[in-house]
Structures are given as structure tokens and as C-alpha cells.
Amino acid sequence: MPAVIRAATSADAPAIAAVHTLSWRATYAGLMPDDFLTRMTSEETRAQREAFWKASIPREQDVVLVAEHSGQVVAFSSAGAPRDHPGFDAELFTLYSLQAAQGRGTGRALLHAVTAALRERGARSMALWVLDTNPTRHWYARQGGVECGEKTDGPLREIRLGWSDLSALP
């Protein structure tokens, strides 16, 4: 059964924060320094993320969607105005999924839903940052994202992937 994609509500904040934390642990183990990953997946950070989502979602400044399977949030995505992507109309901030939900088309469904919502807001293009060693980098490329920049932050290197025409997203 496919996941149900819907707009997030502030009541989803605890589940979004949990998915965010658990997916970071699974995705970035071995890709980021251990002390940084421990800090970013701590209970304190999870609580901060929950507070962020509780405050952010009702403002409706960004598109925030969740994917539910059997009534449980298993993935989420957020996007909005670009922060540091010159020439792009929008930025994909997050797209995280529990490992158990991966490989079922949930990520692709979320990506399509978030880009549809961005297009409704007038966006024609979108970019994101992904860690260069993150395997999802290749997943985004299979979804039509084109490498078009990079940045470094200490030992971490991120790659910009962009879609110049959201209507052409495969």
C-alpha cells in the first residue's frame, strides 16, 4: 500500500522530529564525524527540532509535507524560498525517510508532491544541498537533479543539485 502524502500540521511535529533524528542516525553514520552526529541526533536536538516544526508549520511560509503509512509518519519533506542558490526559485530543505519506508516510492512521491506545491506558489526551478558522500546524492540525480555547485564546511563537502524546470521532473 502506498504512503499517504499530506500537508503537515503542528501536531505532526513530534513525529517529524523523530523521523529527522532517526534518519540522520541511519543515513550519516560513517559519513560525518561521530561527535557531530551524536550532537545532531541527541534527545536535546530532537526536542529542538520538534519545537522548530511546531512553530514553523503554522506559519505556512514553507511547504511541509508528511508521508504516512498505516497512520504513522514515515517520511517528511520541506521546501521554500532559496537561502543560497542564486538563479533558483526554490530550495528543497529536507526530505527524510525512515529506513523501513525506503525503496517503496515514498521519497519520489514526496519529491513530486513538494515540487507540485512549489509550482503552485510560482516556483519554476529548485535546488538542494546534499553531502557529497551521501548515497541519496545519486537518487536525486536519477530524479533529474543536475550537479551545479559545491561548498565546504570544515571536513564536510556538499554538492548543489538543481532542477532548472520543475515541470520536467521525471
pLDDT in tens, 93-150: 999 999 888 888 999 999 999 999 999 999 999 999 998 888 889 999 999 999 999 9
Q: What is the CATH number of the domain that holds 60?
A: 3.40.630.30
Buried residues in 90-118 as b, exposed as e (16+ CB within 10 A): bbbbbbbbbeebbebebbebbbbbbbebb
Which amino acid is located at 163 in the chain? W
pLDDT for 31: 67
Q: What is the pTM of this model?
A: 0.90
Please give the mean pLDDT across all residues of the chain: 90
Number of neighbours of residue 133 by Cβ within 10 angstroms: 14
All 3 cell numbers of residue 60?
Answer: 505556512
Between CA 3 and CA 67 the distance in angstroms is 6
* pLDDT at position 33: 65
Mean pLDDT within 75-89: 95
Task: Please count the structural domains in the chain.
Answer: 1
Give the domain range for residue 8: 4-168
